[in-house]
Structure 1
Amino acid sequence: MLLPIRWLKDYIDTQKSGKELADGLTLSGSHVESIYSMNKGVKGVIVGKIIEIEKHPDADKLVICKIDIGREVLDIVTGATNVREGQFVPVATVGTILPGEIIIQKTNFRGVDSFGMLCSLKELGFNENVISKPMKDGIFILDKEYPLGTDIVDVLNLNDEVIEFEITPNRPDCLSILGMARETAASFELPLKEPEISFETMDNISDYIKDIDIESKNCNRYYARVVKDVVIKDSPMWIQLRLMEAGIRPINNIVDITNFVMLEFGEPLHAFDLEKISGEKIIVRQAKTDEAFISLDGESRKLNETDLVIADDKEPIAIAGVMGGLHSEVTKDTKLILIEGANFDQRSVRLTSKRLSLRTEASNRFEKGLDPNLCQIAADRVCQLIELTKSGKIVDSFIDKYKEKKEEKTISLRPERANMLLGLDINEDIMIKYLNLLGLKSVYKEGLIYTTVPTRRIDIDIEADLIEEIGRLYGFHNIESKSLIGELTRGVKPFSKTIEDEVKKTLLGIGFNEVMTYSFISPKVYDKTNIDKKSHLRDYIKILNPLGEDYSVMRTTLVPTMMDLFSRNYNKSVKSAFAFEIGNIFLPKELPIVNLPIEQKVLSIGFYGEKDFYFLKETVEKLLCKLGIKDIEYKREEENPVFHPGRTAKAFVNGIEIGTMGEVYIDVCENYDINSKVYIAELDFEKIMELCNFERKYKSLPKYPSTSRDIAVIVDEEILVGDIKSLIIKHSKGIIEDIELFDIYRGDQIPENMKSMAFSITYRSYERTLKDKEVEEIQTSIIRDLEKTFDAKLRS
């Protein structure tokens, strides 16, 4: 939204600069994007009069103009085709500076000296997109006589400033010069001068148009007036300059006036050539499927039933709220026009504008929601300006179809509530003053402020909206900071998050790196990781709108994403990698109310490189120990095709399975192009959280000495270390403090398919000194049970 300061001053009396106005409006809640001057660097351009035009002796396309600039007459050569004797024009004399630091010098054109240049609007610094088509290819012709030698900067008010605002969607009333004038008047406590609308009329509208039918619910109001004896010409200079300053290109007087009023009041209007409308009736209806329409930009468009159109009895003549049609366009031959001031459903306009990729000044306003009561005011203002510019004669009466008249609403406000929310201590008189400044008529009665909200303020619905208005006029920057009032509770980190932090800290300390991978995977990875065809892990959730096949299902295990991570690292010559991830898997289990997948949190730990299975096992044990989980039991796992059958185990705590760990099967590694052993543990993080215990009990250091005994037994290759440890513990009688495996031997003196395992058993009592006899008794019972249970033989 561009706000020319000169135009703003038509409605408020102020001498403040653009910077002062922008600062004040910013503090009252308006968002200023920029401030710039219309003068882009023009210095020395003056008004001149063409008193004679001669043909150039050696160039058919050039003419020599004698220009009177008051103090002298200059010869200036130009190629402009729109110059005529008697015209007043902007003249850049020798030494004049134009935008871009261009300095005008004496120039010779094929033997004729030129002592300056006649300027176009572009050369005076106007943007090309706001210059009218006739003016683009020629010099700028002034609209009337001016004193010769007058600085063109003063004539065109080029030193005036323009403020650019970003208008939020909830304030469509500010998408107008008057809307910003109201904000300015309220912010600086200035009186507002709104236009007084009046004009003379003749004949009767019924002689030119019979009726307006509204057949769609998407049109709330349609107000129409007729103007006859229309004269199509250029707009007065003051209208053209206002439009250009606001970023709109002048076209002709009728179109310019409708654009002028749209910018002034914020209500888009349209002028139809009434003689081109068939049937003497306007119909507002939904378009038909694939209905053809040629818009003002010359584009042929296909409409559908979601589009609202203005039509005659044959075809659409406009897309409601977006753009008019070429068929009913106002042209130089137009003599009779219909002025439309209408109110359309904002959603309908927005959807049509988006579908057709056709965004206009009108659609930009309609799609935010407009006050239907503006229709008549704006259309009448157009009529007033048409009369003022002698562009036509206004026909008496009007047609107004208004379905649901929008009335002003009254909202009550509690002053103490306003003070409490804003942190202020001001009385109701000041609050009423601020509200009245904004045009919100307010009175105080029986402890409440009753505010009548004008229909243009669609953003004000409840008490809190009024409190915000008071706050922004008081100035949020003026409100002192205060301590919060109310009961506050201290934030506490959830227990699950505490466990996560402990897991991450422990694994990072061991040397692992945390990773995060996508929850979406390809269904092909289940074959790639050798997951059994009948495994429940293949019962995955399919995504309805996947990015592609590689991201088309939700993972049911973290192994594939971990293997993919290792594959990328290995193939980039990374010799070893240690990673862990706490992530969700998704299982297709029905919940009681809605059918949604179960999200289950899983901890995946993996590595490849120099370490082996025992490092993985040690890592898991250290981690679980840190979480207060002890007495971990391992059982060989031979049925999982993802892992090596002899180097994989399931982990149990108190009989609860918490996960699987082991060496990834060589076929799986080959599928991922990894020529190295890979070890992965996948643990049920939710079960770990249930078993976690951070309670720590401390006991005094032992007073009595320990004693240790070693035992080495030869057992079958299939016997597990854990099974032997469990047997030893059964005989402890409370005095075995530690069991440590210190040797496994296969080779000479050991039978084939057998192995020797040596354990060091530490005995200690916390109540007395142990005697050799009781230690030997336990030692003997252990050996006897080993021989009986595992057919073990004591190795001497």
Structure 2
Amino acid sequence: MFVSYKWLQDYVDLSGITPAELAEKITRSGIEVEGVEVLNEGIRGVVVGHVLEREQHPNADKLNKCLVDIGGDEPVQIICGAANVDKGQKVAVATVGAVLPGNFKIKKAKLRGEESNGMICSLQELGIESKLVAKEYSEGIYVFNQDAEVGTDAIELLHRDDQVLELGLTPNRSDCLSMLGVAYEVAAILGKEVKLPETDHAEAVEKASDYIRVDVEATEDNPLYIAKVIKNVQIKPSPLWLQGRLMAAGIRPHNNVVDITNYILLEYGQPLHAFDYDRLGSKQILVRRAKDGEVIQTLDEAKRELTSDHLLITNGEVPVALAGVMGGLDSEVQADTKTVLLESAYFKGATVRKSSKDHGLRSEASARFEKGVDPNRVSAAAERAAHLLEKYANGEVLAGSVEANTLKVEPAVVSVTLEKINRVLGTTLEMPEVEDIFARLQFEMSVDGDSVIVTVPTRRGDITIEEDLIEEVARIFGYDNLGSTLPIGSSTPGHLTAYQNKRRTVRRYLEGAGLYQAITYSLTSGSKAAQYALETREPIRLAMPMSEDHSTLRLSIVPQLLSVLKHNAARQNDHLAVYEIGDVFLSNGMEDLPDEREHLAGAVTGLWLSHPWQGEKKPVDFFVVKGILEGLFARLGLEDSIEYRQAVRDGLHPGRTAEILLNGAEIGFIGQTHPTVEKEYDLKDTYVFELSLKAILEAEIAPLHYQAIPRYPSITRDIALVVNKETAAGELEGIIKDAGGVLLKEVHVFDLYEGDRMEEGKKSIAFSLKYFDPERTLTDEDVVKAHDKVLNAVKEKAGAVLRG
């Protein structure tokens, strides 16, 4: 809601308080003022000028040479390019030395050889948005009425010497979608009275009921409809003050009749509609639901097909307006309109919302009906409009109004005790102070012992329970005046659970290792949902997906990470490592909710290491990614419980893929994406992994145990074992560890040979074994005894022989 400071002064005395100070007070009372716009900020030196002469520029077809009286000693010559400039006009002139919006300074100039001493301005050049300028002046300069005084301040005449407060209203405060609603709020804050606008007007001898009859079939949707008839109106531009107020509120002026209905919408928060009575086509207004397939052509010249969900205003036969949303084109007020039928009605918000949503017509009127208008202002708004139409359109208001009224509105009565007010707010207010607050809000109230009984005015439909009254007391008393207290009682300090702590450790480790965190959608396409899944179940499809690309809940995170790599690769970011911690969703059938499992996934492509100065480059390979995971498992204390086993999985390279086991149970995989997948995503060699994070973080680990640094030397033995090509190094390593006993402390592979000197179908794997005893120095005899056990074990269990 845009609130003009000058307009607000019509209803509340704001003397002694600036717009900025008022904005601060309103914000502190609970309604946020998002900003204060100074309409004439930075503008100076713009006056009303009188064009005395206009002739064609001798050296330019599209320029005019004008002699303009600006109230000085002598008229000045101004070169103007506007097509509508002419002799005798009163115009806005930026004089030499003037400043326009954007710090645009006006200087003496020569245009095509002719001197120009200023600029004749359009409204856009004076800082008014194009969408707010009346159509007749949307191109070219603005022309004042002939009674404008030469040399006076044009900005003041246009009512741009104003400041506008932008209120950020929550849906419950629809009362402040009007200037009167804001006036009541400001008056309560400042302790002032509200001055209501004039509604008195003369009435003709003829009666409105002789011209129109109102029937309402859909009484639930439209319990109150008021029609007034105004004859002999003169369609012309609105007075400048009215146009200025509309533009300050973000509404474009049209003509005096339409502008007055818009003005009342802003003033009272009550939407009105003006019909051309002579174009209505009958003497009846019938409000009913539309018939399925019925069509109306609205003011925006669009033909709209209706359903029985939509409420219509008709002339008894054909639609003339979509109730609460937009009028029909055929009954529009036009330049030759003489008689106006004025509608003021109370429409059900849900019905208006349905029409507005179905037809994509969101208007100032529909927004107010949707949030709720004051039923007790419907009649007052019509009388105020009649007053203005009489005054500014020379209309004759016919006697009385024609109503269809089944509306029963009783103001809410809410009570609260003084004890509860003070207990909730932590205050020590006395009853007179509470009475004063409700009096400032202009709420009727009575006191019964310790209870306050409030009759809430219908304009405040948001107040229905005692907590609402307590909030009103707090707002007006002042949130800043509420005391600060500490809670009483014992409390438990918050902390991370063990699971959360470990999850944070995982994130820190991976980011320290050089991976970036990604956050992707849990929704994917049906074709990608089950790819790379650790556990395969029927994918879960949404009942109403936004699109096919986001129609199914994922079973794996890897496909989304591959899309992340593809997105970056398309933007020449070829070297990337990403990870994500997120949920996958496993179906439990149609009747039960799915299981949500937290997974950890990663994807790495391009160069892992690049030092151009040293000429060193290391592309990502299987062992780089495996090393990252091994470091993670070591950080979590799981290194002794993890095992890697060669595997074949869809979408992964058959020779560079491994399953990851924790205490013998599969928890994930690691591998290179299949070449066909890399081609599909347009990626270089890419390595991925996915793990059940829940299994990792909930695994039991032994307490951390420190060992003293060995005081005695270790002994190393290297062995090269010839085995079948199918035998995995991990299998041999496990046999060696089991057979080595307590003296064997470390085992690692350091060589693989499959050259010409090796027997067909065989390979040689070399291991380095380290033996030591923390209590003594080992002898050769101790090591040989343990080492022989290792050699015998690998021979018996894996058929391995020492390489000669």
Q: TM-score, normalised by structure 2?
A: 0.76
Counterpart of 1:406 in structure 2 is: 409
Question: Contact 1:520 / 1:555 at 8 angstroms: preserved in 2?
Answer: yes
Counterpart of 2:212 in structure 1 is: 209
Answering whether residue 738 of structure 2 is matched by residue 740 of structure 1, we say no
Counterpart of 1:656 in structure 2 is: 665
Answering whether residue 182 of structure 2 is matched by residue 180 of structure 1, we say yes
Question: Contact 2:529 / 2:553 at 8 angstroms: preserved in 1?
Answer: no
Answering whether residue 166 of structure 2 is matched by residue 165 of structure 1, we say yes
Counterpart of 1:366 in structure 2 is: 369
Answering whether residue 769 of structure 2 is matched by residue 760 of structure 1, we say yes
Rate the CA distance shift 1:272–1:731 in 2: closer, same or farther, 3 A. closer
Question: Contact 1:642 / 1:665 at 8 angstroms: preserved in 2?
Answer: yes
Question: Contact 1:8 / 1:177 at 8 angstroms: preserved in 2?
Answer: yes
Question: Contact 2:232 / 2:396 at 8 angstroms: preserved in 1?
Answer: yes
Rate the CA distance shift 1:692–1:330 in 2: closer, same or farther, 3 A. same
Q: Distance in 1 between matches of 2:716 and 2:430?
A: 88
Counterpart secondary structure, 1:219: coil
Residue identity (%): 32
Q: Distance in 2 between matches of 1:452 and 1:365?
A: 23
Rate the CA distance shift 1:200–1:482 in 2: closer, same or farther, 3 A. same
Offset from partner CA, 1:99-140 (integer Å, 9 cap, x none): 678989999xxx9x9999999989998877455859998843
Structure 1 gaps of 5+ residues are none
Counterpart secondary structure, 2:501: helix
Q: Distance in 1 between matches of 2:716 and 2:260?
A: 106
Alignment of 1:600-679 (within 5 A): 601-604=599-602, 620-629=629-638, 631-632=640-641, 634=643, 637=646, 640=649, 649-661=658-670
Q: Distance in 1 between matches of 2:248 and 2:279?
A: 33
Counterpart of 1:691 in structure 2 is: 699
Letter in 2 for 1:762: Y
Question: Contact 1:104 / 1:117 at 8 angstroms: preserved in 2?
Answer: no
Rate the CA distance shift 1:104–1:319 in 2: closer, same or farther, 3 A. farther
Alignment of 1:1-16 (within 5 A): 1-16=1-16
Offset from partner CA, 1:664-700 (integer Å, 9 cap, x none): 6677767777776x66554433322232426213466
Rate the CA distance shift 1:395–1:497 in 2: closer, same or farther, 3 A. same
Rate the CA distance shift 1:516–1:441 in 2: closer, same or farther, 3 A. closer
Q: Distance in 2 between matches of 1:312 and 1:769?
A: 111
Q: Distance in 2 between matches of 1:70 and 1:725?
A: 103
Question: Contact 1:211 / 1:282 at 8 angstroms: preserved in 2?
Answer: yes
Q: Distance in 2 between matches of 1:538 and 1:291?
A: 49
Q: Distance in 1 between matches of 2:507 and 2:117?
A: 81
How far residue 375 of structure 1 moved from its aligned partner, in angstroms, is: 0.9
Rate the CA distance shift 1:81–1:299 in 2: closer, same or farther, 3 A. farther
Offset from partner CA, 1:225-245 (integer Å, 9 cap, x none): 334565666766766666566
Question: Contact 1:274 / 1:338 at 8 angstroms: preserved in 2?
Answer: yes
Question: Contact 1:738 / 1:763 at 8 angstroms: preserved in 2?
Answer: yes
How far residue 181 of structure 1 moved from its aligned partner, in angstroms, is: 2.3
Counterpart of 2:296 in structure 1 is: 293
Question: Contact 2:5 / 2:165 at 8 angstroms: preserved in 1?
Answer: no
1:472 to 463, 475, 480: 475
How far residue 604 of structure 1 moved from its aligned partner, in angstroms, is: 4.6
Alignment of 1:493-504 (within 5 A): 493-504=496-507
Counterpart secondary structure, 1:283: strand
Question: Contact 1:22 / 1:163 at 8 angstroms: preserved in 2?
Answer: no
Counterpart secondary structure, 1:367: helix
Q: Distance in 2 between matches of 1:680 and 1:58?
A: 74
Alignment of 1:314-329 (within 5 A): 314-329=317-332
Q: TM-score, normalised by structure 1?
A: 0.76
Letter in 2 for 1:503: V
Question: Contact 1:663 / 1:680 at 8 angstroms: preserved in 2?
Answer: yes
Q: Distance in 2 between matches of 1:115 and 1:706?
A: 99
Offset from partner CA, 1:570-605 (integer Å, 9 cap, x none): 9999998766554544444438x5353654524457
Q: Distance in 1 between matches of 2:798 and 2:484?
A: 78
Counterpart of 1:140 in structure 2 is: 144
How far residue 454 of structure 1 moved from its aligned partner, in angstroms, is: 0.7
Counterpart secondary structure, 2:599: strand
Answering whether residue 589 of structure 2 is matched by residue 590 of structure 1, we say yes
Rate the CA distance shift 1:19–1:233 in 2: closer, same or farther, 3 A. same
Q: Distance in 2 between matches of 1:34 and 1:478?
A: 25
Counterpart of 2:613 in structure 1 is: none
Letter in 1 for 2:599: K
Question: Contact 1:82 / 1:139 at 8 angstroms: preserved in 2?
Answer: no
Rate the CA distance shift 1:364–1:754 in 2: closer, same or farther, 3 A. closer
Rate the CA distance shift 1:397–1:596 in 2: closer, same or farther, 3 A. same
Question: Contact 1:130 / 1:248 at 8 angstroms: preserved in 2?
Answer: no
Question: Contact 1:635 / 1:650 at 8 angstroms: preserved in 2?
Answer: yes
Counterpart of 2:610 in structure 1 is: none
Q: Distance in 2 between matches of 1:42 and 1:621?
A: 72
Rate the CA distance shift 1:795–1:158 in 2: closer, same or farther, 3 A. closer
1:458 to 432, 452, 461: 461
Question: Contact 2:261 / 2:385 at 8 angstroms: preserved in 1?
Answer: yes
Q: Distance in 2 between matches of 1:484 and 1:538?
A: 50
Rate the CA distance shift 1:363–1:509 in 2: closer, same or farther, 3 A. closer
Counterpart of 1:283 in structure 2 is: 286
How far residue 311 of structure 1 moved from its aligned partner, in angstroms, is: 0.9
Offset from partner CA, 1:322-380 (integer Å, 9 cap, x none): 33334334456655543321011223334434544545443343333211221111112
Question: Contact 2:225 / 2:345 at 8 angstroms: preserved in 1?
Answer: yes
Counterpart secondary structure, 2:144: coil
Counterpart of 1:342 in structure 2 is: 345
**Greater Cα offset, 119-128 or 428-437:** 119-128
Alignment of 1:93-172 (within 5 A): 129=132, 133=136, 139-142=143-146, 151=152, 156=157, 158=159, 160-166=161-167, 168=169, 169-172=171-174
Counterpart secondary structure, 1:433: helix
**Greater Cα offset, 428-437 or 618-627:** 618-627
Counterpart secondary structure, 1:500: helix
Counterpart secondary structure, 1:381: helix
Counterpart of 1:194 in structure 2 is: 196
Q: Distance in 1 between matches of 2:94 and 2:720?
A: 113
Offset from partner CA, 1:378-405 (integer Å, 9 cap, x none): 1122334455569344444433323332
Question: Contact 2:55 / 2:65 at 8 angstroms: preserved in 1?
Answer: yes
Question: Contact 1:64 / 1:77 at 8 angstroms: preserved in 2?
Answer: yes
Question: Contact 2:230 / 2:340 at 8 angstroms: preserved in 1?
Answer: yes
Equivalent pairs counted in the alignment come to: 774
When Rg is computed on C-alpha atoms for both structures, the one with the higher figure is 1
How far residue 275 of structure 1 moved from its aligned partner, in angstroms, is: 4.5
How far residue 195 of structure 1 moved from its aligned partner, in angstroms, is: 3.6
Computed over aligned residues only, the root mean square deviation of the Cα atoms, in angstroms, reads 5.7
2:274 to 267, 271, 274: 271
Q: Distance in 2 between matches of 1:717 and 1:512?
A: 35
Counterpart secondary structure, 2:506: helix
